[in-house]
Amino acid sequence: MKLKLTLIVALTITAITTISWESYWRSQGYEPNLNDNKEIWATQRARVDKATTDDILTIGSSRIYFDIQLDEWQRTTGVKPIQLASQGTTPLPIFRDIVENTNFSGTIIVGVTPGLFFSTTYPEAFIWKRGIVKNNYFHKRTYAQKLNFYLGLPLEENLVFMSGDEEKLEDDVDLKSILRRCRFGNRTGKKDFLYYNFGDLSRDRNMKMTKRTTSDTSFANKIKANWKAILTSGDIPPPDKKSTMEYFLKDAKVFTERGGNLILLRCPSSGFMRGGEAKFLPRQDFWEDLVQQSNLPAYHFEDYEQFKNLNCPEWSHLSAEDATFFTAELAKIMLKDGVITNHKTN
């Protein structure tokens, strides 16, 4: 009888504390959101192994992740892309894994964010290892890990306190993240950059900028301050154009020779970010050289009147509304140019 009473008391306390904790975070304006982690990335990577020549993959960093809206692309072309972009990551190791470990020969749209694409091929670099970690997880994941991921999805989608991203964001509210943010001075001497979550993620890895980012100027300014701190920190090594170009061109040659369709895309940036890119990674020396040497179809937002003045709320990514517009218009341009095929059925 005492064991039964103990169980009832324990369950009651657990329910009360859980509901209270969840209610507190909701009262602070938080909403449930999927975690952008290697598990959800791997579910989309698995689709590539069965993809056909009609399919489209998007790879790159966070710009193509935020700026290409999958449902809108499907409405325009009849095909929903497989989204394999990864935040703060060069696309080069992910592209190589697709080239070497799949037979895919459909279309790949490569997002070229100059500071990341031309950064490095050093395997221990943070922005390189991020892609390698995702590749390795996909190839080595177990059935138990797959099951754990799918069982956890409903919890992530419905409970705010389950929000804990691999990116170690300042506004994650899971217990591990809260403890990590307990700082007692700078004991390491390293510069501390503060990253915030400003995207809503769906199961198919469609990423949309949150409404808060576009409506709350003070929040957008926090993100801008972080970008500015990173760009002016002096910690960013100079771009390694030679090795990154050689690495990409080698894989591009293999992919196109087996019948693959490869497209380069430079998504919008604005403000301080756009100015920094123009100064330190000038278009003529980087983008134009890449296009010339690769001889691939290429789309730069500055070349289109409807895109060149799009404003990014935090300098580097489009709002959900502008991303929808950008996606539809870009797809129409590519269809008109004949670099992709219209699969819509009337």
Domain boundaries, the chain: 46-145+198-215+237-337
Helix (H, G, I), strand (E, B) or coil at 251: helix
Identity (one letter) of the amino acid at 195?
A: Y
CB 33 within 8 A of CB 200: yes
Instruction: From 108, 88, 90, select the one nearest 99 (Cα to Cα).
Output: 108
**Triad 219, 70, 155: Cα angle to 5°:** 65
Separation between Cα atoms, residue 70 and residue 92, nearest integer Å: 22
> So what's the pLDDT on residue 4?
80
> So what's the pLDDT on residue 31?
73
* Number of helical (H) and strand (E) elements in the chain, helices listed first: 15, 7
> So what's the pLDDT on residue 332?
97
Assigned token pair, 166: 């691999």
Please state, in angstroms and as integers, the Cα–Cα distance from residue 281 to each residue in 19, 114, 276, 287, 346, following that order: 50, 7, 8, 9, 44
Q: For 83, phi and psi rounded to 5 degrees?
A: -90, 110
User: Which segments in the chain show pLDDT lower than 50?
Assistant: none
What predicted TM-score, i.e. pTM, was given to this entire model?
A: 0.88
Beta-carbon neighbour count of residue 253 at 10 Å? Answer: 13
End-to-end CA distance of the chain: 67
CATH class for the region spanning 46-145+198-215+237-337 = alpha beta
> So what's the pLDDT on residue 33?
75
Give the orientation angle of helix 320-337 with respect to helix 70-77, to 10 degrees. Answer: 30
